[in-house]
Amino acid sequence: MFGIHIPALIRLLAVFVLILFLIRKKVSLGNTFFIGTVCMGLVFGLGPLAIGKSVLTSCTHVKTLALTAIVVLILILSSSLDRSGQMRVMLDAFKGLIRSPRLNLVLFPSLIGLLPMPGGAIFSAPMVKELGARSGYSPARLSYVNYWFRHVWEFWWPLYPGVLLTTTLAGIDIIRFMGFMFPLSILALGVGFVFLKADTPPEQRDDAAAPSRQPVRFLISLVPVLIVIIGGLGTGFFLSAIFSDWMIAKEVGLILSLLVSIAFVWIRTGMDKNACREMLFNRNLMNMIYMILTILMFKEVLEQGDAVTAVTGDLLHLHIPVAAIVMILPFLVGVVTGITIAFVGSTFPILIPLIQAMDPGAALMPYMMLGLSIGFVGVLVSPVHLCFILTNEYFRVDTATVYAVLVKPALGLGAMALVYYAVLRAII
């Protein structure tokens, strides 16, 4: 009955504003998306039974179960590497490979960024501080270095939940997605380093590091990550080639490789049984499972309520460019939440069918690149981003001082994403 009197766009925006309000009030993301799911269903004419059916359908879908398993196993692996001391071994081995403190300064947080960990920037902060003392950078610039380079892989690295959720929602092959998104990491590294070099003091080379070079030790420490990447992708390709109709063949390959990697870490380090139990039955894992399920519930209810079809008509009438919508919504949620999976989960279920309806026949990949990139710029400049808060606290600098360093590379990255979007639109 709401549809007779209230335009679909207004109804959708009302639910969207409610989601932002709940996030700002620090309601858990799982509860936020669940409330948003129910409200979305109601304002688009779905009754309680229809909403319940959509919820059940989304929760029991094989893709949902596979995605949930992958994210949970990634978090267990990250926690295992941290608690077993393997992450420290990896970084110590890497530290002796390169003499340049400035290069180590950039590469250390980048290396940490290969494994997604909540607040992971604080892990590399002590080493960045130690190397920064020899490089002559101010605390604000060291905070920027630690924060920026920690996040350069989040556009495409397959261990990040935001990447996995994007490919699942958009139905894009993960290898193809990684190939198109990888240049953004190169751009992020480049723009980050350019603005670092803009205020570069003379460097003191670390000659003492030369005798301790241990490339073999470093490669051995990387085995758990290599098992996941090489083993996961290889097994996924193998299974999808044999079982071409199996829709989660590649996901199963990644699940198996994650299980092997976790077992390798636990056995090799003699992980205590109590520690293993704590990681398996961790409240954060339960919260993550709940959040993923509610995000996919939200997507299912949007589809069942024909919300996007109705909203598309309103947007076409207003002549709002689809690319503008693809940038604005993810950026807004990214700034408000400081969490990639939050803007992906709340906006991409709306944007994907909207793109397909408003720009029929267009390739989805350029729009997904644009939405993920601009949304992530919002995450990077968010004052509530956990890594940003922890890094600034560690280096004892105020937010405004770090923003003075951070804003320029963030704007540069956003501008280059727009150029890359135009290139992809021209070639795909």
Same-domain pairing of 331 and 423: yes
pLDDT tens digits along 169-209? 999 988 899 999 999 999 999 999 888 765 555 555 555 44
Assigned domain for 108 exists: no
Among residues 427, 312, 416, the alpha carbon closest in space to that of 365 is found at: 427
What pLDDT was estimated at residue 207?
52
Tell me how many degrees the CA angle 221-285-29 measures, rounded to the nearest 5. Answer: 125
Q: How confident is the model over 347-370, as pLDDT tens digits?
A: 899 899 889 888 887 789 999 999
Which residues 6+ apart lie within 8 Å of 318 measured at CB?
9
Residue 323: both structure tokens together: 């690319």
Range of the domain at 356: 151-211+306-428
Minimal CA–CA distance to 160: which of 144, 135, 177, 140?
Answer: 177
Q: Does 381 fall in a domain?
A: yes
Q: What is the pLDDT of residue 375?
A: 95
Measure CA of the first residue to CA of the last residue in the chain; give whole Å.
42
Half-sphere exposure of residue 209, counting CA atoms within 13 Å on the CB side? Answer: 18
**What's the number of CA atoms in the CB half-sphere (13 Å) around residue 299?**
26
In this structure, are 288 and 353 located in the same domain?
A: no
pTM over 0.95: no
- Specify the pLDDT at position 101: 67
Number of Cβ within 10 Å of residue 39's Cβ equals 17
Percentage of the chain lying above the pLDDT 70 cut: 91
pLDDT digits (tens, 9 = 90+) for 372-392: 999 999 999 988 787 887 788
Both 173 and 44 in one domain: the answer is no
- Domain membership of residue 228 (yes or no) is no
Mean per-residue pLDDT of the chain: 85
Across 324-328, 374-378, 393-397, least confident range: 393-397
Give how many domains the chain has, as a whole number: 2
Within this chain, do residues 424 and 323 fall inside the same structural domain, yes or no? yes
Those residues with Cβ within 8 angstroms of residue 182's Cβ, 6 or more apart along the chain or in another chain: 155, 156
Residues 414 and 344 in one domain: yes
Distance of CA 392 to the CA centre of its chain: 21
Lowest mean pLDDT segment, chosen from 14-28, 49-63, 146-160: 14-28
Using the predicted structure, report yes or no on whether residue 109 has a pLDDT greater than 60. yes
Residue 393 shares a structural domain with residue 363: yes
What is the band of 24 on the pLDDT scale with cuts at 50, 70, 90?
confident
The conformation of residue 157, written as its DSSP 8-state character, comes to -
Pick the more confident residue, 96 or 164. 164
Identify the pLDDT of residue 236: 81
Note whether 169 and 349 are within 8 A (CB): yes
Highest mean pLDDT: which of 5-19, 26-40, 172-186, 194-208? 172-186
- pLDDT band at 167; cut points 50, 70, 90: very high
Same domain, 312 and 198: yes
In terms of Cβ atoms closer than 10 Å to its own Cβ (0-12, 13-18, 19+), residue 340 is buried
1: confidence class by pLDDT, cuts 50, 70, 90: very low
Q: Are residues 285 and 379 in the same domain?
A: no
- In a domain? residue 314: yes
Is residue 140 assigned to a domain? no
Highest-confidence range of 55-64, 100-109, 244-253, by mean pLDDT?
Answer: 55-64
Q: Which two tokens stand for residue 53?
A: 């059916």
Same domain, 341 and 301: no
Across the range 97-101, mean pLDDT stands at 69
| Confidence at residue 210, expressed as pLDDT on a 0 to 100 scale | 46
Which one is predicted more confidently, 389 or 147? 147
Residue 151: what residue type?
A: H
Residue 142's pLDDT band, with cuts at 50, 70 and 90, is very high
Q: What is the pLDDT of residues 272-312, one digit of tens each?
A: 888 888 888 888 888 888 988 888 888 888 878 887 677 77
* Lowest mean per-residue pLDDT among 112-126, 245-259, 306-320: 112-126
**321 in the same domain as 190:** yes
pLDDT at 211 over 50: no
Query: Does the structure show a pLDDT above 80 at 428?
Result: yes
Say yes or no: 295 and 327 in one domain: no
So what's the pLDDT on residue 151? Answer: 94
Which is more confidently placed, 399 or 120? 399
Whether 285 and 426 share a structural domain: no
